[in-house]
Homo-oligomer: A and B are copies of this chain.
């Protein structure tokens, strides 16, 4: 595991280049409008404000590890679509009737900057743009684009983000078992990771058996990610409201930070095994995953 997590100048350079390409493409998919074009401005603010870009980077790296050509013209659009869905989900989670959050990525939340009406419309337009971007991605077969839309749709809807947010709102305050919390985490996080990885596999033309195995990778990764999010909640520097989860039943509250750290590492190791099992060509995804978590965990010490 240590080898995979080591710092490599090549990888730093590659990640920087991928990140820059992502920012450029997001900027061109969401062009600035006139001064009165508030919905467009809110979409840009919600998406282009510097973020970790974990999902789109993961999509790009996984697709290449799975054999997709790095210069595939549609790949970056799939990655941007995932980031738009993520941005839309954050805008919606933050509005007054949901978490009523004040800060996101260190800035006032979208509804505080633009009003709640514009925030909701921006989220709807981002969701819609994401589906449209996937449907029109260059260099992919119609079947591949349609399957990618179906994957994204599953990640957003009643089996994904929407249901996760609903369970969190309605049951977060109640006393829940660690299994119930894991299920909510799965809906809130793993489903979008799953769509991310499935779209990478579709772009790489991976066979169904590989795509099925990759679902296990996404599920472990999503669980690890949500555990990290729970750990980070009580620390400053996340750019979000502190203690947003205060009063909600999280795994940190239920099991303690040490046990959550242990489970997080277990999920990471399991994710690593899943990916290694189906992909012998590239190590970029596994490198990226381990380094990313190590960096994030280091900020919590």
A positions within 8 Å CB-CB of B: 36, 38-40, 43, 92, 95, 97-98, 115-118, 120-121, 123-125, 127-129, 131-132, 134-136, 141-147, 149-150, 152-154, 156-158, 161-163, 165-166, 169-170
Contact = CB atoms under 8 A, between A and B. Distances in A.
A35 to B, nearest CB: 12
A147 B135 contact: yes
Contact of A127 (B43, B118, B127): B127
Contact of A128 (B115, B120, B127): B127
A287 to B, nearest CB: 33
Contacts of A156: 124-125, 128
Nearest to A85: B128
A168 to B, nearest CB: 11
Name the 8 nearest CB pairs between A and B, nearest first.
A132-B153, A142-B143, A142-B142, A135-B149, A128-B156, A145-B146, A97-B116, A128-B157
A92 B121 CA distance: 9
B150 A117 contact: no
A165 B119 CA distance: 13
A141 B147 CA distance: 12
Contact of A124 (B131, B134, B154, B162): B162
Contacts of A141: 142-143
Nearest to A141: B142
Contacts of A118: 166
B142 A128 contact: no
Contacts of A132: 149-150, 153-154, 157
B95 A163 contact: no
A199 to B, nearest CB: 12
Nearest to A99: B117
B142 A129 contact: no
Nearest to A31: B158
- Give the most central of A115, A120, A152: most B CB within 10 Å: A120
Contacts of A169: 117
A131 B130 CA distance: 11
B124 A127 contact: yes
A147 B136 CA distance: 7
Contacts of A162: 39, 121, 124-125, 128
A149 to B, nearest CB: 4
A39 B255 CA distance: 30
A120 B98 CA distance: 9
- Give the most central of A38, A134, A166: most B CB within 10 Å: A166
Given A97-B115, A116-B97, A149-B131, A121 B39 contact: no
A82 to B, nearest CB: 14
